[in-house]
Structure 1
Amino acid sequence: MNYTLHQLQIYLKISELQSITKASEALHLTQPAVSIQLKNFQDQFPIPLTEVVGRRLFITDFGKEIATAAEKILNQVHEINYRTLAYQGKLFGRLKISVVSTGKYVMPYFMSDFMRRHEGVELVMDVTNKSIVVQSLEKNEVDFALVSVLPEKLHVDRMELMPNKLFYVSDYDRTLPKSIIKRNLFENIPLIYREPGSATRNAMEGFVDRNNYTVVKKMELTSNEAVKQAVISGLGCSIMPLIGIKNALRNQDLKIVPIKGLPIITNWNLIWLKSKNLSPVAVAFLEYLGQNKHQIIAEHFEWIHDFN
């Protein structure tokens, strides 16, 4: 057999996600490249690793055993690399972070220089909605989570990073009366929501309820990017985090509609369980943020203060 570590990594990701498309996205590879590597890997076994039923891909019982073996092999490879770096006196290990979907516009800027400084650190960052982020933290599957609203039932420590502002936005070409009654924005224009479990959706629903607005027409989409594109196309309006729409505002694809009580302002917080025994990598990352977060904000997020 001549399978490579790269093939093991690809196959393991396919087995985890049970989807070539999702695996290609997670690995930042093209779908054809992933399909070719899966075929090359499969060709080395006389028994099928996967099967397609309808349009869904399933892992066979034999394939599950190979996935378990692949995970063990890859973990041993990581261990070899880590021990080598430790022998050289370098920081090594994995840093696991779960990030709410809008946080993908924030977290990479707080990570990039740290990762460049420490080549022995491997980053595993999952981007999903708030409810899954909190579950990952509660199950101790990650070191840190990035959220804009603190979970109520977990005992966590936190480091506040930067403000998170949510504005009511419409497509740039939508004509609105100068003296429009704000209630009419919600009753007459479709309001586009994120999916249940999203912190942005919770903030929107809280604002609507506090003001006793009646939302007659609404839509639900499962990502911030999908909501943004829907608003740009004229399907409706939404209350959106400023951090994800900077370019759309500057390109005059979107515009902010002033409404009393907006923006909703929360804070991006990096949180971790109080009972968590932080790894040396996690401790080093917190120390790095404590020393550098203000500089990172000044370099990459000063523009936020242009919108109030």
Structure 2
Amino acid sequence: MIDTLPGPTALPFAVQLKTFADQEGRFQPKLCGLRLIETAQDNGLRMTVKLREFEVKDLLSLTRFFGFSSETFSLAVSMLDRFLAVMKIQPKHLSCVGLCCFYIAIKSSEEEKNVPLANDLIRISQNRFTVSDMMRMEKIILEKLNWKVKAPTALHFLRLFHARIQEQVNGDSKKVLDLDRLEAQLKACHCCFAFSKVKPSLLALALLALEIHEEYEYSSAEGLLEALQEIQQHLGVKDGDLSCVRELVAKCLVEYSSTRCSRPNSQRLRWIISGRTARQLKHSYYKIAHLPTIPESAC
């Protein structure tokens, strides 16, 4: 049975925070596995940081194209990092792993009527494997994650913290923190491998801290810092740790917004499913060789 998180409730902030905080440690990617990815040479035989980041950007393209929720994307990234941290996969299998994590997240987070067929998802993402390959990989992923799918992600914490701060402040201060903007920034951070090693709660807190401190340079956002510090105390986060991750977030956002950054190419996706292209597709397009057998050796 797939493990899930409890849905939104009217529980007090402290209770919700404790529930998420108690669970986040159990869903963190294994550091030993992440370090292997970090130190791997780019020789086409091992998973690398660059390959992982490219895959997440592709998933972000698909999320935007289909109009799926931020929750779907964050959950897919969480599962991908957790799986990569326990399995030594070859680069040629990465696109199948990534799309399977994405598909599991879609089925866990989206309404049933919005869940695409696996065959359509493969075609639109322009991947070269079959539905049977995908179903086989999905089973491997679920088994290796012990069927624990719905982890408390940074998005859960971000929304919880944002709601708490909004309760604590008045007037113009409520308008300072735009949740849509914060969620967009979080998606950019998900594309950076460095945040795979950061606790979701700390990443969410750092995003809010960066936004609040930047606002303080231009106006006195009354009560925002106090509300942020209250959450920090609840989490037991040290000032130095928060400052370090906040600087990492700032650097990531600058790089992501620069012209040098390799961003997701949604235009590529629009082309493949245009009406004219769809009508011209031949049956042979789907007759693709199966993937090689995937070794199930853990880290």
TM-score, reference length from structure 1: 0.21
Mark the structure with the bigger radius of gyration. 1
Q: Give 1 or 2: higher helix fraction.
A: 2
Q: Which structure's relative contact order is higher, taking Cα pairs within 8 Å and 6+ residues apart?
A: 2
Q: Give 1 or 2: higher strand fraction.
A: 1
